[in-house]
């Protein structure tokens, strides 16, 4: 496949989002709209990617864009063709077709991009390939008007369409692929003789036809080209993406007991024979091995769970948690920046942060690693096969040696050697008949 370049238009103000955050940085499935488009573009392997920003969002987008993505600025918002023109100097260097995408159309797939590239090269060498779709409700969309040979003649906006044109079910998504060699002349031919005085890419079709070039089209699913201009549309896109991710997880060999209640991030990785119970949330950066069981109401982000481990219910794995093979993380357990090694058990009501729990160790209910002293975080090391009794506070920095036992209710502020027993309980004291005497005093009003 010959070279092609991607231009992503991201200079829109996004005023309907009513947000201090630039619209391209709003998220679906744990990733920004910008990141979704960049991921898709990268999968289709362009020779270059150019991002068109506004003066207002330039710095934010330049910071968010990965190395190798060029950022240019549309200084004045004068329409989509004008925005593409902002990339003209960058496009003058190099060769290949030019794909125009939109940051607020994040659900387009790499397969669709490849289909457009193939259409540009296989069908009478069209100057432009437009991506169309057939929505259930065509109300506000521009229509793709074709000639008798099935080639695109024009894009007619809904407000300017006559009755016969409004009956057309094929609509414009906005995405276009241009013959890079023809693009400068096409841009030069687009005028701004319209109500807003702006330069629109939709006019490129008529210009190319007037220059004697054919224009083709490809058709995508309506959900693939849905635009995001409001919080409501952001939520609709989230729903579409979640359905895709759930389907992919199950196709890959995972069991989702209640798919609609499980939420993924776009980069979630699940191994084979993973079982996910209802109401589980996967934040960004989660990798799960084979045969893992994730029980209901668990929250995972930035973590790795190895083969055969069990998580939850009601567990929280925070960034840099690493759960080893066959380990057990139980109900109301939180793990942060810690490694729980093979076969270790942390089953109840426990916080493990900045720590290592050695292979085969058992951590009792109510245990906490006291990792923060108000100024800095400190490390707790629990050795292989150690036993930590319930309601223990491990005051970091501290280590418990392999095979050691810490009695329930202890506060451990110094290291425990391997195979030692550590107890810090106060001596027991019994006051005979105290409860009865206290009730009698209370009844007497004293």
Q: In the prediction, which pLDDT does 161 show?
A: 85
- The sign of the dihedral angle between the CA atoms of 258, 259, 263, 266 is positive
Same domain, 172 and 235: no
356 and 328 fall within a common domain: yes
d(CA 341, CA 325): 7
- Looking at the domain assignment, is residue 370 inside a domain? yes
Residue 139 lies in a domain: yes
Q: Where are the alpha helices (DSSP H) in 162-214?
A: 163-166, 183-189, 204-210
Q: DSSP of 141-162, one letter per residue?
A: SPEEEE-TTS-EEEEE-GGG--
Residue 95 lies in a domain: yes
The CATH number assigned to the domain holding 385 equals 2.160.10.10
**Looking at residue 1, what is its pLDDT?**
54
End-of-domain residue from the set 225, 252, 287: 225
Whether residue 243 is found in the same domain as residue 262: yes
Is residue 411 within 8 Å of residue 390, measured between CB atoms? no
The whole-number pLDDT of residue 348 equals 96
Cis before 145? omega within 30 = no
188 and 237 part of one domain: no
Is 444 contained in some domain? no
Please list the ranges in the chain whose pLDDT falls under 70. Answer: 1, 123, 446
Alpha helix stretches (DSSP H) within 150-198 = 163-166, 183-189
Q: What is the pLDDT of residue 444?
A: 85
Residues 40 and 144 in one domain: yes
Instruction: Choose, from 151, 158, 348, 378, the residue flagged as catalytic.
Output: 348
**Residue 442 located in a structural domain:** no
CA distance 332 to 323: 16
Residues 6+ apart with CB under 8 A from 272: 252, 253, 254, 290, 291
Q: Token pair of 192, please?
A: 């701004």
Q: What is residue 237's predicted lDDT score, i.e. its pLDDT?
A: 97
Same-domain check for residues 212 and 309 = no
Share of the chain above pLDDT 90, in %: 87
Q: Cβ(16)–Cβ(6) under 8 Å?
A: no
The number of distinct structural domains making up the chain is: 2
Active site residue 158: no
- The torsion defined by the Cα of 359, 360, 361 and 363, in degrees rounded to 10, comes to 120
Contacts of 157 (CB under 8 A, 6+ apart): 142, 202
Q: Give me the pLDDT at residue 123, please.
A: 66
Residue 435 belongs to a domain: no
106, 235: one domain: no
Q: Is residue 299 part of a domain?
A: yes
Q: Residue 315 in contact with residue 296, Cβ under 8 Å? A: no
Instruction: Quote the domain boundaries for residue 33.
Output: 4-225
What is the value of pTM for the model shown? Answer: 0.92
Residues 133 and 209 in one domain: yes
Same domain, 196 and 127: yes
Q: Report yes or no on 57 lying in a domain.
A: yes
Say whether both 261 and 360 belong to one domain.
Answer: yes
User: Phi and psi for 350 in degrees, rounded to 5?
Assistant: -135, 150
Contacts of 424 (CB under 8 A, 6+ apart): 407, 409, 410, 411, 412
| Token pair 């008007």: residue | 145
């Amino acid at each position: 496949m010959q070279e092609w370049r991607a231009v992503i238009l991201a200079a829109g103000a996004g005023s309907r989002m009513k947000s201090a955050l630039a619209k391209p940085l709003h998220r679906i499935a744990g990733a920004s709209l910008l990141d979704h488009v960049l991921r898709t573009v990268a999968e289709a392997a362009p020779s270059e990617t150019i991002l068109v920003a506004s003066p207002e969002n330039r710095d934010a987008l330049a910071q968010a864009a990965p190395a190798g993505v060029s950022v240019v600025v549309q200084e004045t918002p004068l329409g989509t063709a004008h925005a593409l023109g902002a990339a003209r100097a960058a496009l003058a260097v190099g060769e290949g077709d030019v794909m125009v995408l939109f940051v607020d159309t994040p659900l387009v797939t790499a397969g669709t991009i490849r289909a457009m590239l193939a259409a540009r090269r296989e069908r009478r060498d069209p100057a432009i390939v437009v991506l169309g779709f057939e929505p259930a409700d065509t109300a506000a969309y521009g229509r793709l008007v074709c000639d008798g040979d099935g080639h695109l003649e024009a894009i007619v906006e809904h407000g300017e369409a006559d009755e016969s044109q409004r009956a057309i079910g094929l609509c414009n998504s906005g995405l276009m692929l241009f013959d890079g060699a023809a693009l400068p002349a096409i841009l030069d031919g687009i005028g701004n003789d319209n109500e807003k005085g702006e330069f629109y890419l939709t006019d490129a079709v008529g210009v190319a036809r007037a220059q004697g070039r054919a224009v083709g089209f490809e058709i995508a699913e309506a959900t693939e080209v849905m635009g995001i201009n409001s919080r409501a549309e952001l939520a609709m896109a989230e729903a579409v993406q979640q359905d895709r991710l759930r389907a992919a997880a199950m196709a890959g060999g995972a069991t989702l007991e209640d798919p609609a209640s499980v939420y993924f991030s776009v980069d979630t990785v699940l191994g084979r024979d993973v079982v996910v119970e209802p109401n589980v949330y996967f934040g960004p950066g989660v990798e799960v091995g084979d045969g893992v069981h994730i029980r209901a109401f668990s929250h995972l982000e930035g973590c790795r769970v190895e083969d055969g481990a069990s998580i939850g219910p009601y567990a929280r794995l925070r960034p840099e948690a690493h759960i080893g093979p066959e380990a057990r993380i139980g109900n109301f357990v939180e793990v942060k920046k810690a490694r729980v090694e093979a076969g270790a058990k942390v089953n109840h009501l426990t916080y493990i942060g900045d720590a290592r729990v050695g292979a085969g160790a058992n951590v009792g209910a109510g245990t906490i690693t006291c990792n923060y002293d108000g100024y800095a975080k400190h490390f707790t090391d629990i050795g292989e096969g150690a036993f930590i009794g319930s309601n223990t506070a491990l005051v970091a920095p501290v280590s418990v040696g392999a095979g050691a036992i810490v009695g329930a209710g202890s506060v451990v502020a110094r290291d425990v050697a391997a195979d030692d027993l550590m107890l810090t309980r106060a001596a027991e004291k019994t006051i005979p008949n105290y409860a009865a005497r206290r009730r009698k005093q209370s009844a007497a009003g004293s």
